[in-house]
Amino acid sequence: MALKPVNRVKLSAQIEQQLKEQIIEGRWQSGEKLPSENELARIFGVSRVSVRQALQALAAQGLIETRVGDGSFVAQPDLSDLVRQKLPMVYLSDDSVHEVLELRTLLEPPVAELAVSRATDKQIAELAELMAEMERHPDDTALFSSLDYDFHMLISKMVSNTFIEGIYALQTDVLRSSMRRILQVNRSENALHYHPLILEAFQKRDAKAARAIMEEHLRTTFEIFLRDKHLITRGTAAEAEVTA
């Protein structure tokens, strides 16, 4: 491939970066109104068009809220949204599925243990509802994998730690895709065996049991994947069409 001349960084991108740094560093607090487009254009020495493009980019990232006729305001910070932007959806090879499982094996057992002590009764009830839905749809791979994902994500939210939620959000796309692919070899039996045990540990508020069962669940998933990964079909179309 022939090399091509590089483009200069757009003015709007430079403005976006400076404003983003101000927000992330706390120079402007949540709910605080930003200077008007005219004022920002004067400060940066650029046109309102460049300022507007920068503000639109920040709004798309969830950093600011633009209210018609009222201006732009710093949004409530959401670490999950910020970190999710750092990892685009990627095609998962066998190696990357292996790495996702390795990460989950290290991360999720201690998160489950901590979540037990912080989960509300309502959240545990929601976990039970997800479990019931999974039991009703064991042969619908697309739906089952989505419910499986929601089950694990709900546990991460129980911890009420924005950094932990952020780490889960960082792997959202690859986690969803890997779960669909893993179900091709794991089917639903593994989750249907371990998830009720995990739910029971939460209902009994048994943190040690939740950690131990989650660890065994993911270790078993890992072992089945390593044994049967040759059965996984390639490509997103195959992921969408495969049934358990």
CATH number at residue 136: 1.20.120.530
Alpha helices in 159-206 (DSSP H): 162-170, 172-186, 189-203
Residue 227 has pLDDT above 90, yes or no: no
Do residue 127 and residue 233 come from a single domain? yes
Do residue 117 and residue 193 come from a single domain? yes
pLDDT the model gives residue 51: 93
Do residue 49 and residue 33 come from a single domain? yes
Give the β-pairing of 71-74 and 64-67. antiparallel
Q: What is the pTM of this model?
A: 0.61
Nearest-angstrom CA–CA distance, 191 and 134: 9
pLDDT the model gives residue 50: 92
Residue 143 has pLDDT above 90, yes or no: no
Do residue 136 and residue 227 come from a single domain? yes
Would you give the DSSP letter of residue 89? -
Is 6 inside a domain boundary? no
pLDDT band at residue 155 using 50, 70 and 90 as cut-offs: very high
Do residue 43 and residue 120 come from a single domain? no
Is 3 inside a domain boundary? no
Nearest-angstrom CA–CA distance, 93 and 213: 28
Do residue 141 and residue 28 come from a single domain? no
Do residue 51 and residue 170 come from a single domain? no
- Give the number of C-alpha atoms closer than 13 A to the C-alpha of residue 141, restricted to the C-beta side: 18
Examine the fold and report which residue of 35, 58, 76 is the final residue of a domain before the chain moves on: 76
pLDDT the model gives residue 72: 94
Query: Domain range spanning residue 155?
Result: 82-241
How distant is the alpha carbon of residue 126 from its chain centre? 19
Do residue 54 and residue 143 come from a single domain? no
pLDDT the model gives residue 157: 93
Query: Averaged over 193-218, what is the pLDDT?
Result: 97
Is 156 inside a domain boundary? yes
pLDDT tens for residues 28-85? Answer: 888 899 999 999 999 999 999 999 999 999 998 888 998 888 899 998 765 555 555 5
If one compares 207 and 17, the residue with the highest pLDDT of the two is: 207
Query: Averaged over 138-167, what is the pLDDT?
Result: 88
Query: How many domains is the chain partitioned into structurally?
Result: 2
Least confident of 51-55, 115-119, 125-129: 51-55
